[in-house]
Amino acid sequence: MKSFYVLILILVASFVSVPVQAVTAKNYEKGTKAQQKSISYLSCAFYGSSTQLDPSYTGQVPTADIKILQKAAYHAYNDALSYFGYEEPDHEQRIIDYAEFVASQEAVLWDKPGMNGKQVTLIARSLYNESNCNLLLDSIK
């Protein structure tokens, strides 16, 4: 009987401590789209910033454009969390979670062929163009 009460307490504690609400199928779909949008913005910002690694490279993406993409990525990330029903208890933790999200996405992007070579700025510019980042940037300006 004692183990039954312990089990009930554990179940109650786990439901109370989880900051997630039930997510409808429609919100899940919207959240997934927002998350993909955030990843696209992050990819473009990453490729853009990688074009700036060589100061003499003439095809650099402007810093202002990179900042616009980074800001859009953060807003899309927050939208995704909202659609998924995730309620962060404090703003500082959300920023930490976002930083971890960015780091994991950038780690994946560094693994693209050529991104760790001597031609990183050229490859980054090529990937920036292949990802249609200029169109994406125009759509959020």
Each residue of 2-41: pLDDT tens digit?
A: 554 444 445 444 444 444 455 688 888 999 999 999 999 9
pLDDT band at 93 (very low <50, low <70, confident <90, very high): confident
- Asked if residue 109 has pLDDT above 60, the reply is yes
**SS3 for 10-39, per residue?**
HHHHHHHHCCECCCCHHHHHHHHHHHHHHH
Each residue of 51-69: pLDDT tens digit?
A: 999 999 999 999 999 999 9
CA 3 centroid distance within chain: 42
Alpha-carbon gap, residue 8 to 25, rounded angstroms? 29
Alpha-carbon gap, residue 83 to 20, rounded angstroms? 11
Question: Higher-confidence residue: 89 or 35?
Answer: 35
DSSP string, 39-56: HHHHHHHHHHHHTTSSTT
* Percent of the chain whose pLDDT exceeds 70: 82
pLDDT number for residue 32: 92
Say which residues have a Cβ less than 8 Å from residue 112's Cβ, sequence separation at least 6: 123, 127
Lowest mean pLDDT among 10-19, 46-55, 94-103, 124-133: 10-19
pLDDT band at 91 (very low <50, low <70, confident <90, very high): confident
Q: What is the mean pLDDT of residues 79-92?
A: 84
Alpha-carbon gap, residue 101 to 136, rounded angstroms? 20
Question: Higher-confidence residue: 83 or 19?
Answer: 83
